[in-house]
Amino acid sequence: HDLWLRYHALTTAPAGIDTRQAVQLVAGPGSPTAKAASGELIRGLGGLLGKAPELSGAVSRDGALIVGTPASSPVVAGLHLDTRELGREGYLIKSVVVNGHTATAIVGNDDIGVLYGSFRFLRLLQTGHPATGLDLRDRPQVKLRVLDHWDNLDGSVERGYAGASIWDWWKLPDYLDPRYTDYARANASIGINGTVLNNVNADPLVLTPAYLKKVAALAGVFRPWGIRVYLSARFSAPIEIGGLKTADPLDPAVRKWWRDKADEIYRVIPDFGGFLVKANSEGQPGPQDYHRTHADGANMLADALAPHGGIVMWRAFVYSEHDLDDRTKQAYNEFKPLDGQFRDNVLLQVKNGPLDFQPREPFSPLFGAMPKTPLMMEFQITKEYLGFATHLVYLGPMWEEVLRADTYAKGKGSTVAKVVDGQLDGHALTGIAGVANIGTDRDWSGSVFDQANWYAFGRLAWDPTQSARAIADDWARMTFAPDDAVAKPIVGMMMASREAAVDYMTPLGLAHLMGAGHHYGPAPWDDSLPRADWNPVYYHRADKNGIGFDRTRKGSDAVDQYAPPVAAEFNNLKSTPDAYLLWFHHLPWDYRMRSGHTLWDALVMHYTHGVDEVKQMRATWATLDGRVDAQRYAQTAAFLAIQQHEAQWWRDASIAYWQSLNHLPLPAGYAPPA
């Protein structure tokens, strides 16, 4: 349950550190954040080196650590390091010589930068780097790096597969579970600086005074770790807890209610982050209930928060059963015309794809389409559509794929990452959110490998250009062991895992074929839900002749929501990558793929490949028996067995269903469904 902050003793001492004596830690007293930084170094080095560092006022032997800001530490100031480019949250780590002794300086302009730098230094040691010749600088590329908890006030977690909510509302504010600090430490270690405590399907009660006290208590725990709290606000709260007759965003009484509410919140939480809002989506109330626009709604809340420096994260996840247009087009239809109408302290929070956190989707066409509005990325860390907590699916490659996708909004190289980090359109207010996979399970995330998704999210939010593989490598070394014999096979499994899941669940651009409601397991035949756009059959459109959703100009024309070069690529069957084939095209079963196989044969091969990949993952894991502690070995082995069984289930059920429509035989050498 220490996550990636295990700090188990290193078997070989890092170069530059003499493990026969305690490391000198030159750090002044100071703010709670400064104390958190030295506390973490004491804990981390104590574990890694077997000897806790000794606090010291000056460097008097080799291998010392000098930690602090130029303003708070004369020793740091004496190093005359250039910290101008570091901003508030950045840091530098540099090997220096002081009083004739070697030392490592961990320096920021603010204590929070020093804390991030301290975690980075520990990471270097955890992953087997030497403590010599260091000269690195880093700062976050994205301003708001936020976890969204879909936690309900009754302790349940929507789409949570790791136990109950870790917020013990019942005992708050008087009892502060030590877990809250562990949570904050883990987040700070990967640079997460915000947390939305409650579900987007929000209970207005969280905005009442009794709950605000509890929220304030949590904010107090998180503050030293650089983490601000945010709340999901229910748009109709003025009616439900305010006694008003309306929640119309242009009604003066409603506006005043929200202003007063914001004032009240900031009285108890002076650094409150702001609101996250799901409005007019899946039955939630919103401004359209009063014939107002999403901009009217967002701006009203933004105006209430602005005097306090708060922000609004307004979600773009909207679609309606009354709208007959392709569901994947609806968010763009709704929001694109509103570009330029939002206040400066509003971010539009957009899911990575236009549908809903599928194993694979093309990037949302909103990225690049709203240059006047900061678009905040919303990823889902919890694996709602990816096998919950048992399937080993490392999401790094999926997020990397989206972030590196080219929107062509301002010509070639206009990647989604550049939209999100503000570079493309010059936004200073930027953000990335991830729907958390955290709960009361002892391992926090429902499985050891799901911890990697939390970890990777934080690392990519800090710097969206990082490589998923490098992040997996760090995580594997920190979580298991810093040696290649353990880390390499684990990274190999992780890197193959996402494509495996795509293959055994929804290959070649298929999507949303999971069991209705719970979204676990195959149900491509399902058309039982009351809304057409919730049913798998809406998405695959298969019959005896063919399969796929025609989103070209001959079909729903979703392609034209992308910039012209991207639209042209996806509109044309010949240039559409196989990965998105059936997302954009409806094709006959005997369509000839680039590989020369028919579409049907290729589909069967992909399903089978997915299953084979899981078998391979199991075999790889088996080679680690004895190299990984017994408990984590056994859990992963058992989960991989479940995954293999269920990958087979996905394959067999899907193939059997398609065969019930197309009556085609399996390609030679491919076994029939068991």
DSSP class per residue in 198-256: S-SS--GGGGSHHHHHHHHHHHHHHGGGT-EEEEE--TTHHHHTT--S---TT-HHHHH
Q: For ligand GCU, which residue of 139, 143, 145, 159 counts as binding (CB under 6 A)?
A: 159
Residue found under tokens 């967002």: 298
Phi-psi region of 136 (alpha: psi -120 to 50; beta: other; left: phi over 0): beta
CB of 539 to ligand GCU, least distance (A): 14
- For the annotated catalytic residues, the residue numbers are 282, 356, 384
The sign of the torsion formed by the CA atoms of 394, 398, 400, 403 equals: negative
Q: How far is the CB of 315 from ligand GCU (least distance, A)?
A: 7
- Between 50 and 515, whose beta carbon lies closer to ligand GCU? 515
| Site of tokens 């640079």 | 191
Q: How far is the CB of 139 from ligand GCU (least distance, A)?
A: 31
CB closer to ligand GCU out of 199 and 598? 199
Pairing mode, if any, of strands 346-351 and 375-380? parallel
CB of 377 to ligand GCU, least distance (A): 14
Closest approach of ligand GCU to the CB of residue 378, in Å: 8
Q: Which residue has the tokens 């002794």?
A: 101
- Of 89 and 533, nearer to ligand GCU (C-beta) is 533
C-beta pairs of 623-632 under 8 Å, 24+ apart in sequence:
623/489, 624/486, 624/489, 624/490, 627/480, 627/481, 627/485, 627/486, 628/480, 628/481, 628/486, 632/448, 632/480
Q: Single out the residue of 93, 134, 200, 587 in contact with ligand GCU (rule: CB under 6 A).
A: 200
User: Nearer to ligand GCU by C-beta: 518 or 594?
Assistant: 518
CA dihedral angle for residue 558, residue 563, residue 568, residue 570, rounded to 10 degrees: -50
Closest by CA position to 242, among listed 267, 260, 230: 260
Please list, in sequence order, all residues whose beta carbon lies within 8 angstroms of the beta carbon of residue 208, skipping any fewer than 6 positions away.
241
Q: Which is nearer to ligand GCU, 121 or 275 (CB)?
A: 275
Determine if 356 is a binding residue for ligand GCU (CB under 6 A).
yes
Task: Tell me, by CB under 6 A, how many residues bind ligand GCU.
Answer: 9
How near is the Cβ of 303 to ligand GCU at its closest, in Å? 24
Q: Which is nearer to ligand GCU, 109 or 358 (CB)?
A: 358
Calculate ∠ Cα 429-434-439, nearest 5°: 140
460 binding ligand GCU? (CB under 6 A): no
> Least distance to ligand GCU from the beta carbon of 358, Å?
11
Nearer to ligand GCU, 519 or 540 (CB): 519
Judged by CB under 6 A, the residue of 158, 251, 303, 557 near ligand GCU is: 158
Interface with ligand GCU, residue 444, by CB under 6 A: no
Closest approach of ligand GCU to the CB of residue 122, in Å: 35
Number of Cβ within a 10 Å radius of residue 501: 28
Q: What are phi and psi of 242, to 5 degrees?
A: -105, -10
Closer to ligand GCU by CB, 10 or 513: give it: 513
Of 158 and 303, CB closest to ligand GCU: 158
Helix axes 111-126, 178-189, angle to 10 degrees: 80
Task: Identify the CA nearest to 402 among candidates 448, 352, 450, 357.
Answer: 352
**By C-beta, is 83 or 358 nearer to ligand GCU?**
358
Between 364 and 403, how does the x/- string for binding to ligand GCU read (CB under 6 A)? --------------------x-------------------
Among candidate residues 530, 286, 521, 293, the one with its CA nearest the CA of residue 385? 521
The binding track of 103-142 with respect to ligand GCU, each residue x by CB under 6 A or -, is: ----------------------------------------
- Which of 418/519 has CB closer to ligand GCU? 519
Query: What is the 8-class DSSP label of residue 190?
Result: T
Q: How far apart (Å, rounded) are the C-alpha atoms in residues 510 and 119?
A: 41
529 binds ligand GCU (CB under 6 A): no
- Cα(119)–Cα(102) distance, integer angstroms: 20
493 touches 621 (CB < 8 A): yes
Beta bridge partners of 95: 104
DSSP conformational letter for 658: H
Q: What is the rounded distance in angstroms from the CA atom of residue 643 to the CA atom of residue 640?
A: 5
Least distance between ligand GCU and beta carbon 201 (Å): 5
Looking at residue 6, the DSSP 8-state letter turns out to be -
Judged by CB under 6 A, the chain residues 230 through 289 that form the site for ligand GCU are 278, 282
* Smallest separation (angstroms) from ligand GCU to the CB of 372: 24
Q: Closest distance between ligand GCU and the C-beta of residue 281, in Å?
A: 6
Q: Which is nearer to ligand GCU, 102 or 199 (CB)?
A: 199
Q: Contact with ligand GCU (CB under 6 A): which of 72, 95, 181, 201?
A: 201
How far apart CA 660 and CA 653 sit, in angstroms, is: 11
DSSP state, residue 104: E
Q: Where are the beta strands (DSSP E) in 576-626?
A: 587-588
Give the one residue of 167, 222, 272, 317 binding ligand GCU; rule: CB under 6 A: 317
Q: How far apart are CA 547 and CA 524, in angstroms?
A: 12
Minimum CB separation of residue 317 from ligand GCU in Å reads 5
- Residue the block writes with tokens 């369509």: 591
The CA-based angle 114-116-118, given to 5 degrees, is 70
Within 10 angstroms of residue 418's Cβ, the number of other Cβ atoms is 22
Point out which residues bind ligand GCU (CB under 6 A).
Answer: 158-159, 200-201, 278, 282, 317, 356, 384
